[in-house]
């Protein structure tokens, strides 16, 4: 049973306020972040960090993404209830919970076996049930393609062509692309004629996307 008391809820309201101040405007995204208990992804001793707007180590050299980053990427996805979404980089599972709270059908893939094992047990215990996969998500997840939306939560050197191929017409891919220091957030929209519309947003700092189409 998850403990989610008035103190946690108060801290979460504070986080949502901060995200709004920083420019997140999609009320549905803010509401989703306002409902997911981020503290359950943290050891009790680190509770004070759970609702600060920062990334935090989750073991195996990986991080739970900064709430602003989660909100920004989710906002760019323009999710509709029932959208079929592929998330690359399950990590802690927090981002997957936000996508589920917005009514998406979520397929999530993780490259590190230990993280995959941990999260695929932990999330359903909390009541969140995406479809979990273990493997190299830099190539997407062709068996379940196409997807309405694809979100990559690790920094890529380039946009993997396979991800574009696995996107539905009208679909959106959100992916940070750059070097090992900073990445630009990129949104690609696959138009009905299969042409791509590209938008480039701010700089972010992600752990590297590994694998065949990532950093080898």
User: Which residues belong to the active site?
Assistant: 65
Q: Does 75 bind ligand SAM (CB under 6 A)?
A: no
Q: Which is nearer to ligand SAM, 2 or 191 (CB)?
A: 2
In the complex with ligand SAM, which residue's Cβ is closer, 163 or 191? 163
109 binds ligand SAM (CB under 6 A): yes
Name the residue among 200, 143, 156 with its Cα closest to residue 182: 156
Distance of CA 208 to the CA centre of its chain: 14
Q: How many CB atoms lie under 10 A from the CB of residue 211?
A: 18
Among 73, 74, 92, 166, binds ligand SAM (CB under 6 A): 92
* 88 near ligand SAM (CB under 6 A): yes
Q: How far apart are CA 10 and CA 48, in angstroms?
A: 12
Q: Which is nearer to ligand SAM, 163 or 188 (CB)?
A: 163
Q: Does 164 bind ligand SAM (CB under 6 A)?
A: no
What is the closest distance, in whole angstroms, from the C-beta atom of residue 65 to ligand SAM in the complex?
4
> Least CB distance from residue 110 to ligand SAM, whole Å?
5
Please provide residue 48's backbone torsions phi and psi, each rounded to the nearest 5 degrees. -60, -25
C-alpha distances in angstroms, 59 versus 36, 42, 43, 63, 140? 21, 11, 11, 7, 24
> Of residues 19, 29, 50, 89, which one binds ligand SAM by CB under 6 A?
89
Angle between helices 6-21 and 27-35 (to 10 degrees): 150
If binding is defined by CB under 6 A, does position 159 make contact with ligand SAM?
no
Site size with ligand SAM, rule: CB under 6 A: 26
65 near ligand SAM, rule: CB under 6 A: yes
- Out of 68, 72, 111, 128, the only residue in the binding site for ligand SAM (CB under 6 A) is 111
In the set 37, 67, 130, 137, which binds ligand SAM (CB under 6 A)? 137
Distances in Å between the Cα of 92 and the Cα atoms of 112, 122, 152, 179, 202 are 11, 9, 14, 24, 24
Q: Tell me the residue ranges of DSSP E strands in the chain.
A: 56-59, 62-64, 84-88, 105-110, 131-134, 147-152, 167-178, 183-190, 196-204
Binding residues (CB under 6 A) for ligand SAM: these are 62-65, 88-89, 91-92, 94-95, 109-112, 115, 136-138, 153-154, 206-207, 209-211, 214
């Amino acid at each position: 049973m998850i403990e989610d008391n008035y103190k946690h809820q108060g801290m979460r309201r504070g986080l949502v306020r901060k995200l709004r101040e920083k420019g997140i405007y999609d009320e549905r995204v803010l509401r989703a972040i306002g409902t997911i208990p981020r503290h359950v992804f943290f050891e009790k001793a680190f509770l004070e960090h759970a609702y600060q707007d920062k990334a935090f180590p989750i073991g195996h050299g990986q991080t739970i993404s900064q709430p602003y980053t989660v909100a920004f990427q989710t906002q760019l996805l323009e999710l509709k209830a029932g959208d079929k979404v592929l998330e690359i980089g399950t990590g802690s599972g927090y981002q997957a919970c936000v996508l589920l709270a917005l009514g998406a059908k979520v397929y999530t893939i993780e490259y590190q076996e230990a993280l995959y094992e941990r999260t695929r047990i932990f999330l359903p215990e909390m009541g969140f049930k995406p479809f979990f996969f273990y493997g190299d998500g830099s190539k997407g997840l062709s068996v379940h393609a196409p997807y309405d939306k694809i979100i990559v939560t690790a920094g890529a050197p380039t946009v993997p062509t396979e991800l574009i191929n696995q996107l539905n017409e009208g679909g959106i891919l959100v992916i940070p692309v750059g070097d090992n220091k900073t990445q630009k957030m990129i949104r690609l929209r696959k138009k009905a004629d299969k042409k791509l519309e590209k938008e480039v947003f701010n700089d972010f700092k992600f752990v590297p996307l590994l694998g065949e189409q990532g950093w080898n």
